[in-house]
Each structure stands twice: as structure tokens, then as C-alpha cells.
Amino acid sequence: MTQMATKLVIITEKVLLPKVTKIIQAAGATGYTVMDAGGVGSRNTPSPGRPIVSDTYSNIKIEVITASEDVARTIAKQVADKYFDNFSGIIHIGRVEVLYAHSL
Amino acid sequence: MTQMATKLVIITEKVLLPKVTKIIQAAGATGYTVMDAGGVGSRNTPSPGRPIVSDTYSNIKIEVITASEDVARTIAKQVADKYFDNFSGIIHIGRVEVLYAHSL
Amino acid sequence: MTQMATKLVIITEKVLLPKVTKIIQAAGATGYTVMDAGGVGSRNTPSPGRPIVSDTYSNIKIEVITASEDVARTIAKQVADKYFDNFSGIIHIGRVEVLYAHSL
Amino acid sequence: MEILMEFGSRFVSQLQSPTLAFLLGGILIAALGSRLTIPDAIYKFIVFMLLLKVGLKGGMAIGEADIGAMLLPAFFAVVVGCLTVIIGRYTLALLPGIRTEDGIATAGLFGAVSGSTLAAGTVVLESEGISYEPWAVALYPFMDIPALVLAIVLASVYLKKKDGTGDKVAIWPIVKESLQGPALSALLLGIALGLFTNPDRVFDTFYEPLFRGLLSVLMLIMGIEAYARLNELRRVAHWFAVYAAVAPLMNGLIAFGLGYIAHVLTGFSPGGVVLLAIIAGSSSDISGPPTLRAGIPTANPSSYIGSSTSIGTPVAIAIGIPLYIGLAQLVFGA
Amino acid sequence: MEILMEFGSRFVSQLQSPTLAFLLGGILIAALGSRLTIPDAIYKFIVFMLLLKVGLKGGMAIGEADIGAMLLPAFFAVVVGCLTVIIGRYTLALLPGIRTEDGIATAGLFGAVSGSTLAAGTVVLESEGISYEPWAVALYPFMDIPALVLAIVLASVYLKKKDGTGDKVAIWPIVKESLQGPALSALLLGIALGLFTNPDRVFDTFYEPLFRGLLSVLMLIMGIEAYARLNELRRVAHWFAVYAAVAPLMNGLIAFGLGYIAHVLTGFSPGGVVLLAIIAGSSSDISGPPTLRAGIPTANPSSYIGSSTSIGTPVAIAIGIPLYIGLAQLVFGA
Amino acid sequence: MEILMEFGSRFVSQLQSPTLAFLLGGILIAALGSRLTIPDAIYKFIVFMLLLKVGLKGGMAIGEADIGAMLLPAFFAVVVGCLTVIIGRYTLALLPGIRTEDGIATAGLFGAVSGSTLAAGTVVLESEGISYEPWAVALYPFMDIPALVLAIVLASVYLKKKDGTGDKVAIWPIVKESLQGPALSALLLGIALGLFTNPDRVFDTFYEPLFRGLLSVLMLIMGIEAYARLNELRRVAHWFAVYAAVAPLMNGLIAFGLGYIAHVLTGFSPGGVVLLAIIAGSSSDISGPPTLRAGIPTANPSSYIGSSTSIGTPVAIAIGIPLYIGLAQLVFGA
Ligand SMILES: Nc1ncnc2c1ncn2[C@@H]1O[C@H](COP(=O)(O)O)[C@@H](O)[C@H]1O
Ligand SMILES: Nc1ncnc2c1ncn2[C@@H]1O[C@H](COP(=O)(O)O)[C@@H](O)[C@H]1O
Ligand SMILES: Nc1ncnc2c1ncn2[C@@H]1O[C@H](COP(=O)(O)O)[C@@H](O)[C@H]1O
Ligand code: NA
Ligand code: NA
Ligand code: NA
């Protein structure tokens, strides 16, 4: 079932996680993967509600593999339009070949 | 020593980590990198032995850079054949250019 | 503002994080993202100052998106020249399409 | 009648005991959508502290104990571990809509033992002033390991019969994996340290005084967890929920019966009988699930994790513990 | 004059109290570039332990309390929460170089309540032998939630007027989110457990004895944090720093005044008045910032987080607490 | 003869002391393949608690101490730090199959100081009722920093001679980095808080009572760690293992000798002499390795981390501590 697919990567503030995943699921993606990340960009909003001196990261990196590039671009557009005026973040896409997946 | 290589990405349940790395090493890959990840897919097996309300992720993302694409595909096939009937997971590959490595 | 860009990935020992990010910023990259990672390669230097039996990883994975491929290659060269004789690490690059970023 | 009323009043008073109150508190705040979480590092450390303390206490006392007296209870622990798995396996197989592998794994988990429930049991017994043989805590592995091994063997036999996929089971790796797991490691390490060294001072100043408090936090975690895992249970057949409500008490009562025989034959104390029942009534929450996940990969973890965490453990603690104590007072006299 | 001197000596002695000493120690070592950090898991667990303990203690005593006496202070808590936000909002709007959204968010954070400062306040009151109504800790949500809700509503009204972007604010989700946050959840859970169950033993052996020590570690974290967040403050208008130094004391004194009225009208105790002032003088460090970040996304978090953590909290603890105690001795007599 | 027997019996009794028993227990369970781990957050917090407590205790007592008496021991601490590195460097250079950089780094690590071993030493001394100058714990940085600095300088000199790659070493950054590391930061913060503030109450209710227990957990971690790092040692020349077994005792005895001189000259107490030897016999496990990794990047960390963690620390605690105490009884009389 190997199949070319789009890999969408969203790096943004942890507080947005529930909101972004809601957008992802509404857009019809079959899944996503989340990782903790730290980072420096041009906004660098401080993370609310947690000590910066703690040993945790305040960003998340979300990866979404989609069969349709349109779905990926729609998710990206919605996230950016809705949140990137006020929140830190960067979004990029690339192509991967999916070898095995329980659904795509 | 810059060199085109295959980047294999396996996202699956944490319990499988020792078994997957054994396959990776047996296949002759020169190394791998592991990261904690959370995620949602179509199976969503609950993680055994740890509170879901804890702040940790129950998936792992394993990246393997291989000079030979065959090695990558062999690893993917073995992992999927052996485990994906019963465990959550997704596998994809892509191309990267390795600029520096201690061995490849 | 969608734009093709270079994605540089550096996986190395955690102790080098401050030094590598200094190089990244000096080279003029607009940002970077850091994640905890564990791994096995050909050197496998033990991580100093932390129990290996602890549940933390001793590597980091740094991703830098740059508009100019030259900047990425310069960073890679400097990191490898300065540290890879004595420290573990691997560096690779690829292409991505940046859909949204606060600066690039 | 009077006995029933006494049992009722004991039960209500147990609900107010910290052990149970924190468990129910955890369920409650989870149900109300609280975002309160206890970090995983704290959870792991608490489990370690509790089991090490239980082990230390056992080990410090075993030295003076008559080891011969341990033989029959240990044998009965093995029997209970196996018997409860077998009963569970065939009971679940009879119920509609349950895949046999899922049933076997669930029976295995309910046959196995929970370190947290054991810790809670020792606190309640001490609060009630009921003494038990200090080595009784060491019965844990004698029941836990046979239950897990048997479940994996039964699953393999079943799969081989069904479609020839069941591999021959190597038993020693499962035993080893159980003993090397964090819960049993901590318990056995505690027993060894208590037996061969002089940890009295550190026990009296650290492990003992922190015990109740850490247990209260663990109960809170388990309550939150019980609610959170209800989702798993909703995905699987309703009969799992029924089994999960009944099995802890059934398993506990079987162990109570065998413990009573040991009482008659070798003078096993009433407190020891109750503790044996508590151990038997518990279902494994730490080491059991990963062992079963690896050993019976075709079983759906939602079935056994959901049943055990959401229903089995609350029932084992909230109903089981006061039940066996009440029964002991009935059987052995006040 | 004598009073001023007494206040001065009290202040110096406060500087040596562990609560304050650890706060200043944290600022100091952070300023000296120390890489000492307390892991996030420990920080979260300490906050949980402190607020649960404060809640348990309150809950255990509320049972015997006259709940009627709580009404006026609770009403005043709501008033203080709203009043301080309104005053802050319009004060900050008058200052040059401050975006109105940033000002509203900052006023909201200073109107809200810090669980850590509340915990520190109870320790200092107990050290000084000043008693207060045990239910006074339950005033926390009555002040905290209205302040956050009001700030978000004010921002929305402002944005709608300015450019029509402000959405209509749904109040209940904000209230719910506050109550479900880790700090308030732990406090309310503690109150419920204290009220309805018998946690005395676990309270006496665990939560109470560990309280001061854990608080000292938390103060250290907050000191390190205060220094580290100064960077945020440097990025925003200087007037935020000025507001952050004055607002805690102003808010505390307003609450002191209303508390005094409650003292006269319903016999609210001097200790209760001081605690009300301490609560009012604190600014939220755990649940407030994420709520505001989500509720007023256009506000720059550097402004309110920097002000509150770097200046607000140290001032609230180091100057506010001894100030209100001194004032109480002046007003209510030694 | 009698003395040897007494030393032998003391040694066996030490093996049963909690400090040592937990260390050996950790080695044992790791060797048996246990998957028991203590989370990293707990490990970091324990190290912080222990060193803060050691510092607080020292600081609280320094106030009353005669600081003049500290001068000679402090000077000797510097001497020991440098001397042990020099001896180690040239000893290791003579041994076959050892790269000089690896030898220098290893000598540096064994010259430096372990906070955990220091904490263990204070517990054993207190258990044995041997008193020492409270400021003696403050000798730690006087030995630790010179050892690390000297090792880095020696490596740079060597590399410059060999192939011109050694850079000129800036000493101040190394000193600063050491002082800012988590272990020394916590110790010095504790000393400052003990000296300038009144932490008695929080010390008595929190830091002091938890000390032994937390130390027992740390010893367990270090035991597990010692076994786990044996892999590193297997990759490097066998002579590292030999050096690691001998150097702690040699370094401790050198310090004992100099401490004895201080005893004769300025009345440095027998307990202080033992503590100086314990400090000298320890090898750094927290701050030393990263400093050396950065300062001597060409050295193979497997050599020095393996030697120190797997063999050096167990020897320093299990053999060194009872050895110096026995020697003190011999030298200074019972
Ligand atoms: N050029 C970049 N390369 C990699 N990650 C970036 C880059 N720019 C921004 N990021 C990530 O995106 C987050 C938000 O960026 P920003 O919105 O620019 O503050 C940062 O914290 C980084 O984690
Ligand atoms: N479409 C997807 N995009 C990104 N990650 C995915 C996707 N589908 C599955 N995953 C990851 O793979 C894990 C297992 O997926 P599944 O086997 O479908 O339950 C999920 O928990 C995700 O971490
Ligand atoms: N072939 C590979 N694929 C993926 N990650 C690798 C590979 N080789 C090395 N790495 C990563 O780079 C780190 C250092 O590698 P090395 O310098 O070879 O020891 C390892 O710990 C891995 O995290
Ligand atoms: Na059971
Ligand atoms: Na306030
Ligand atoms: Na040393």
C-alpha cells in the first residue's frame, strides 16, 4: 500500500494544541503525531503558566500525514489565519512515501 | 562526504522500542534516533502500564538514516509484518542529503 | 508567502546545545527548533553528569529552516568542523515548502 | 442482620477513610473535567516508595518468623493465581460478544496482583488494628507471576488450536520479566534490604512516616485514572464491565476460603487471611498490562486495561477491603 | 513613629524568615547565573501539595464554622476581584506607551489570585500566631474567577469598540476553565475531602509536616523564575514595572479596607482581614496566564507575565505580607 | 591485630548500614536486570535537597565558628585537589594502553568532589556519633574547583606540546561554571541561607528529617548507575579499573595525612579530618563530567565516567568511609 503523501509540520505554542488538533480532525486527516519542542523564532512569546526555568519545552511540533495535499494546505491555512496573528508558529510541508499505515 | 540517503520514520507504541531497534540493528543500519511522541491514529491502543493522565507520551518516533534504500524498506517491512497487525503505527520514508556522519 | 526553503537537521549531544545555537544565530538563521532525542550511532559517547538509568534522553535534534541553502550548509560545516572530531552527531538537509512563518 | 448493619456502617466509615476518600476524590474531579494531574515522575516514585516500604517492613520481620508457616499460604497463593485465571477465562468465554483472547488477557490481569491495592490494604489493616504475618506481603509474587504466565499459556494454546498461530510459550522469560518489573523489583529489594541489613532508622524516619501520605496521592491518581480509562471500557463489550465488578470480589472470596483452610491447618492469622484476599481481589495496574500486551499481542488492551483500572481496582479497594475485614470479624470473631 | 520603627523591624525580620529568604535566595542565585533548576514535575507536585493542604485544613474546619459569616467576606472578595481589575485597566490606559489590551490583561492578572502567595501567607500568619477563619482560604476562587472573567469581557468590549473584532464573551467556559485548572482543582478537592471525610491522620503525618519545607522550595523556584522573567519585562514599556510594584500593595490595601468593614459588621477576624489582603495583593502565576492568553490573545504575554512574576509576586510576598500584618496590629491593636 | 579485627567488624557493620546497603542493593538489582528506575526529576531533586541541607547545616553553624580555624584546612583542601590530580595524571601516564588525555581527565574527576559521597559521609559520621567542624562541608569547592581547573590546564599544556592544538585555558570561566553548577549552587545557597537567615524551623521539620531517607534513595540510584556504567568501562583499558579502585583510597589517605597535620597545628577535629578524607576520596558525579567533557573534549568520556561511577564511587563509600573512621580511631584514640 505504499503511497506518496504530504507531510505537514506545524510548530507552535503548546497552549494551541487542543485547538490545532480540532482543526486537523475537522479537516479529515486520519491522524497526527505530537512532540514536545523548544525553539527560538522572531516572536518568542513567553509560555504562560509554567516556570521558564523548568526543564520542559513550551512549543509543540505536530506532524500530519495526509493523502491529499489539499487537506494539508487547508489545515495550514486555518491554523495560520486563526492564530498566527497572535501566537508564535511556523508551518511547512514536504512529500513522503508512506510504506505502512492503518489508514490514510 | 555529503551523500544522498534514505530517511525512514517509524511511529509506533513505546512498548515496541526494544523490538524495533533490534530489527534496525540486525538489518545493518549504522544508527537510529528516538523521540517521544503522542498521537492519534485509527487504532489508538491505550498505553499499558502507565496512567494516561500522566504527562508523558506513549508513542515513539524512530528515525533511521540509511545509505541504502533497500535496508530502509527491509526494516519497514519486517516491523510492519511482525507488529502492525496488533500494534499501532505508521511508517514513511523520504530522501535527505547527509552532510556529516561518523559512519553511514 | 509560501516559499521553498532548506531544512537542516543536526542530531548531537545535549551538552553542545548552547554552542550549536550560538553558531546558528551567528549564521543569520531566523530561528530553530529543539527536541530531546535518544539514539545509537557509531560513537555513542556516554552522557556526562546524568544517570543513564534515568528516563531522559541525552541527545538533541535541532531543526533549522533557512531560506538560503548556503546558510544551512555553513552552519553544518561549522558545527561539524568544530565538534564532530570529539562529539557524537549527524547532520542532514532536505527541502521543504514553508507555508507560514513570522520571518524567514 | 446485625452483622449486615455492622458491615454497612463499617462500609460507610471506610468511604471516609483517606485511602478511599482520595480514590473517590480522584474519580470525582476527573468526572468534573479537572485538569489536575500528578506528574509521571511523581507517580513512579510513589509506587517505588510504597512497595519498597512494604517490602522493608516484611523483610525486617521475616528474620524472626517461622518460615515453615509460609509454605501453605504461598502454595495457596499460587493456587489462587491459577484458579482465578482459569475461572475467569471460561466465564468470559461463555459471555456473548467477547473475543476469547480478550477474555483470557482480562482473566490474567484480574488474577494478577496490584501493588497499590496491597499497599492500601496494609494501611487499612493497620488502621483497624488487625495484625498479620509480616511475610504475608511476600505472597504477592507467588500469586502474580503464575496468573500472568498461565494467561499467556492459555492464550497460546487457544490460538494454536484456532488457527495454528500460537507460538510455544517460553515460561522463564515471563517469570523473569515479571520479577524484573519496577513493582516487584522494589518489593523484593525492600524484602532483601529488610532481611539482611539494618534499615530501621531510615525506615522509621522516612519510609514509614511518608507511607500514608504518599498512598493518599497514589489513590488520587488511581481515581483520576479510573475515570479517564472509562473511555476504553466504552469501546468494548459491556460484559467486561460486569466481569470487572464481580471478579475482584469473587477472587478475593476464593482466597479468603483457602486462607481460612490455612488458618485451620497451620494457624495462618485472620489478618493474613484478609491480606491474602485483598491481594487476590486486586488486579495488576503496573506490571501486568505491559506483560500481557507483549505476551498476548492479539488481545485488545482496551478490554483488559479498561476493565481493571476503571472498575476492578475501585471495586477491589472500596468494596473488597471492607468486605474481607467484615467477613473476618464474622468468621474469626471480634 | 514608633509604629514605623516597629514595622521596619518586623520587615527586616521577615527578610530572614524562610519564606522570604528562599525567594530572595532564588533571585540571587539566578542573578549569579546558577544553573540550578527544580524539575517541572517537582514544581507541579509542590503546588498540588500546598493547595491540597490549604484546602484540607480549610475543609476540616469549615464543618464547625458558621457559614453565614462567610457571606460578606465572599461578597467582598468578588468586589475586590472586580474593582482591582477596573482600577488597573483604567490606570494602565492612562499611562503612556501601553496598548490597551496589554493593560487589561495585566490588570486581570493582578486582580486574580496566586495559590503560592496564599500558601506563603498562611505560613507567615501561623508563625506570627495570628489566627484566621479557616474558611478564609476558600475566598480564593471568589476573587480569582471574577477578575479573570471581567478582564476578558473588558478586552472584548474594547476590541469591539475599536475595530469590531471582539467576540461576544461566553462567561461560563471561563469560569469552568478556572475551576478545572490544577490550582483551584487541588484547593477545592482539599476542601471537599476535609469537609466530608476524615483525613486527620494523613493530614497530620504528611500534608501538614511537609508544608513549610515544600513552600520553601516553591519560594526558591519563584525567586529563580522572577529573575529569569525580567527579560520579558525589559521588552515592554517601563510603566508595567511601575504598575507591578504598586498594584499588589494597592489591591491588598483595598481588600484590607473592605475586610475591615466586614470586621466591624460581622466580626470577620483580624487574621481573616490580613489573609483577604494577601489574597488580593497576589497575582496569579499558574492558572491566570494561560486563561488570559486564550481569552485575550491579542495581548502581549510578555507584558503581564513579566510584570506579575518578576515584580508583582516578590512585592506581594516581601512587602505586602508584613505590611498587612503591621497594619493589622496598628488597627486592631496588638 | 586486634585493630585489624575491629576494622573488619566495623566494615561488616557498615555493609549493613542503610547508606551502603542501598548502594549495594542498587548494584544487585541492576545486575539482575531489574527495570526499576528512579525518574530523573526525582534524582535531581534529591541531589538538590541533600546539598541544600548539608549547606544549611554548615551555614547555620559557621556563624558561631572561628573562621580563622578554617584557613589551614581550606588551604589543604586546595593542595589535595591539585596533588591528587598531578599524581593521578602521571600515574595513569605510566600505565600501558592509556591515552594521556583520557588519563588527565580521569585524574581530574577523581581529584574533584562528589556531593553525594559528602552527604553519605555526614550521615555515617553522625550515626557513629563523631562530631566535626560544621564548616568542614564548605571545603568541598576548595578541593573540587582546583582539581577540575588543573586537569583542564594540564590537558591543554599536553596537547600544545603534542601537536599544538591545546588552546590557552581561561581559568575564570571554569571556576564560574563550577560554582554555577547545580551541586555547588545548592551547597553554597544553603550555606548563605543558613548563615544570614533563620531557617531553623524549616530545617528541623523538613530538610533534616528527610535527609537520611532521600540519601538512601540516592544511594540506590548510584548503585544502579554503577552497574549500568560498567559497559563504559569494558570499552576502555583495564588499567582504568585498577586506578579507579585504588585512587579513592589513596586520595583519601593523602587528605587524611594533611588533615592530621592541621589537627596538630590548629586543632582541626578528628571528625573534620575524616570528612576531609571522605571529600578527597570521592570523585565527582554531577558537575565534574560535563565540565571535563567541555574542557577536555578529546578525552573519551567512557574512560573517566566509567571509572568514577562504576568503581570509584562504590569504593569511596563502601571502603573509604569505614577506612578513614577506623584509622581515626586508631590515630586519635577511641
Ligand atoms: N527558521 C526556523 N527554523 C526552525 N524553527 C523555527 C524557525 N522559525 C521559527 N521556528 C519555530 O517556530 C517557533 C515560533 O516561531 P516565531 O513565531 O517566529 O516566534 C519557534 O519557537 C521555533 O520553534
Ligand atoms: N495521518 C497521520 N499523520 C501523522 N501521524 C499519524 C497518522 N496516522 C497515525 N499516526 C501516528 O501513528 C500512531 C499510530 O497510528 P494508528 O496505528 O493509526 O493508531 C498514531 O498515534 C500517530 O502518532
Ligand atoms: N544512521 C543514523 N540514523 C539516525 N540517527 C543516527 C544515525 N547515526 C547516528 N545517528 C544519531 O546521531 C547520534 C550520534 O551518532 P554518532 O556520532 O554516530 O555516535 C546518535 O546517537 C543518533 O541519535
Ligand atoms: Na488478583
Ligand atoms: Na490579586
Ligand atoms: Na576527589
Indicate which ligand has the atom closest to the C-alpha of D281: 4
Nearest to B102 among C38, C42, C77 (CB): C42
> Which one of A65, A68, A95, A97 would you pick to mutate in the ligand 2 pocket, going by the greatest count of ligand atoms within 8 A of its CB?
A65
Q: What are phi and psi of F38, to 5 degrees?
A: -100, 125
Residues 6+ apart with CB under 8 A from D18: D212, D216, D219, E193, E197, E198, E199, E201, E202
Contacting residues of F for C51, CB less than 8 Å apart: 40, 43, 221, 224-225, 228
The answer, yes or no, to whether D and B have at least 3 beta-carbon pairs within 8 Å is yes
Do residues E272 and E328 touch, judged by C-beta distance below 8 A? no
In the predicted model, what is the mean pLDDT of residues E258-263? 97
Question: CA-CA distance, E18 to E20, in Å (whole number)?
Answer: 6
Lowest pLDDT segment from B6-15, C1-10, D90-99, E156-165: E156-165
Distance in Å, alpha carbon of E49 to nearest chain D alpha carbon: 9
* Interior angle at CA D94, CA D92 and CA D99, nearest 5: 60
pLDDT at E15 exceeding the cut of 60:
yes
Percent of chain B scoring above 70 in pLDDT? 88
pLDDT at C49 exceeding the cut of 80:
no
Nearest to F54 by CA among F259, F200, F194: F194
Cell of C15: 551538552
Q: Under the phi-then-psi rule, with left for phi > 0, alpha for psi from -120 to 50, and beta for the rest, what region is F32?
A: alpha
Cell of C2: 509560501
Residues 6+ apart with CB under 8 A from F58: F134, F135, F136, F137, F138, F190, F191, F194
Interface test with B, best of D32, D293, D303 (most B CBs within 10 A): D293
The answer, yes or no, to whether D and A have at least 3 beta-carbon pairs within 8 Å is no
For cell 471516609, the residue is D16
Average pLDDT of chain A? Answer: 90
Q: What is the pTM of this model?
A: 0.94
CB neighbours of residue F121 within 10 Å: 30
Read off the pLDDT of residues E291-318 as tens digits, 9 standing for 90 and up: 999 899 999 998 999 999 999 999 999 9
CB neighbours of residue C70 within 10 Å: 12
Q: Does the C-beta of A88 come closer than 6 Å to ligand 1? A: yes
Write out chain D's pLDDT in tens, 334 residues: 677 777 777 777 777 788 889 999 999 999 999 999 999 999 999 999 999 999 999 999 887 778 788 999 999 999 999 999 999 999 999 999 999 999 999 999 999 999 999 999 999 999 899 999 989 999 999 999 999 999 999 999 999 998 877 778 889 999 998 999 999 999 999 999 999 999 999 999 999 999 999 999 999 999 999 999 898 888 888 999 999 999 999 999 999 999 999 999 999 999 999 999 999 999 998 889 989 998 999 999 989 999 999 999 999 999 999 999 999 998 998 5
Q: For chain B, how are helix, strand and coil distributed in percent, rounded to 5?
A: 25, 40, 35
Question: CA-CA distance, A45 to F319, in Å (whole number)?
Answer: 53
DSSP D131: -
In the predicted model, what is the mean pLDDT of residues E255-271? 97
In the predicted model, what is the mean pLDDT of residues F251-277? 97
Question: CA-CA distance, F7 to F296, in Å (whole number)?
Answer: 40
CB neighbours of residue D306 within 10 Å: 26
Contacting residues of E for F182, CB less than 8 Å apart: 34-37
pLDDT at F136 exceeding the cut of 90:
yes
Cell of C54: 534515568
Average pLDDT of chain C? Answer: 90
Residue E233: predicted pLDDT: 87
Residue C51: predicted pLDDT: 62
* AA letter at D150: L
| CB within 8 Å: E189 and D35 | no
Contacting residues of D for F40, CB less than 8 Å apart: 41
Residue D286: predicted pLDDT: 84
Residue A55: predicted pLDDT: 59
Residues with CB under 6 A from ligand 3: B 29-33, 63-65, 101-103; C 11, 37, 39-44, 59, 88-90
Contacting residues of D for B53, CB less than 8 Å apart: 30, 37-38, 221, 224-225, 228
Confidence tier at F57 by pLDDT (50, 70, 90):
very high
* AA letter at E113: V
Q: Does the C-beta of A85 come closer than 6 Å to ligand 1? A: no
Task: List the domain boundaries for chain B.
Answer: 2-99
Do residues F237 and F305 touch, judged by C-beta distance below 8 A? no
Question: CA-CA distance, F100 to D159, in Å (whole number)?
Answer: 61
DSSP F299: S
Higher pLDDT, F20 or B49: F20
Query: Dihedral, CA atoms, B63, B64, B67, B69, nearest 10 degrees?
Result: -80
Q: For chain E, how are helix, strand and coil distributed in percent, rounded to 5?
A: 80, 0, 20
Do residues B62 and B27 touch, judged by C-beta distance below 8 A? no
CB neighbours of residue E250 within 10 Å: 17
pLDDT at E184 exceeding the cut of 80:
yes
Residue B1: predicted pLDDT: 60
Confidence tier at E334 by pLDDT (50, 70, 90):
low
- Indicate the pairing of strand A59-66 with strand A32-40: antiparallel
Indicate which ligand has the atom closest to the C-alpha of D254: 4
Nearest to E206 by CA among D37, D50, D128: D50
Residues 6+ apart with CB under 8 A from E170: none
Nearest CA to ligand 3 atom 7: B31
Read off the pLDDT of residues C67-102 as tens digits, 9 standing for 90 and up: 999 999 999 999 999 999 999 999 999 999 999 999
- Tell me the β-bridge partners of A94: A7
Nearest to F127 by CA among F333, F332, F271: F271
Contacting residues of B for C77, CB less than 8 Å apart: 99
Do residues D220 and D20 touch, judged by C-beta distance below 8 A? no
Within chain C, where are the H helices?
17-26, 69-83
Read off the pLDDT of residues F273-326 as tens digits, 9 standing for 90 and up: 999 999 999 999 888 998 999 899 999 998 999 999 999 999 999 999 999 999
Average pLDDT of chain E? Answer: 92
Percent of chain A scoring above 90 in pLDDT? 75
Residues with CB under 6 A from ligand 2: A 29-33, 63-65, 101-103; B 11, 37, 39-44, 59, 88-90
Question: CA-CA distance, F245 to F238, in Å (whole number)?
Answer: 11
Confidence tier at E276 by pLDDT (50, 70, 90):
very high
Read off the pLDDT of residues E226-256 as tens digits, 9 standing for 90 and up: 999 898 888 888 999 999 999 999 999 999 9
- ipTM > 0.90 for the complex: yes
Question: CA-CA distance, F197 to F62, in Å (whole number)?
Answer: 12
Read off the pLDDT of residues F81-106 as tens digits, 9 standing for 90 and up: 999 999 999 999 999 999 999 999 99
Angle between helices F238-266 and F321-332 (to 10 degrees): 30
pLDDT at B48 exceeding the cut of 80:
no
* AA letter at A39: G
Confidence tier at C53 by pLDDT (50, 70, 90):
low
Q: Which chain E residue has the Cα nearest residue A44?
A: E302
Nearest to B9 by CA among B58, B81, B99, B80: B80
- Tell me the β-bridge partners of B65: B7
Lowest pLDDT segment from B97-101, D80-84, D104-108, E174-178: E174-178
Nearest CA to ligand 1 atom 13: A89
Ligand 3 atom nearest B34 alpha carbon: 23
Higher pLDDT, D143 or E65: D143
Cell of D57: 517492613
| CB within 8 Å: C94 and A94 | yes
Domain formed by C2-99, architecture: 2-Layer Sandwich (3.30)
- Indicate the pairing of strand A3-13 with strand A59-66: antiparallel
pLDDT at A54 exceeding the cut of 60:
no
Residue D159: predicted pLDDT: 92
In the predicted model, what is the mean pLDDT of residues B88-96? 97
Residue E64: predicted pLDDT: 79
Ligand 2 center to D333 CA (angstroms): 58
Cell of F230: 560498567
Distance in Å, alpha carbon of D216 to nearest chain E alpha carbon: 8
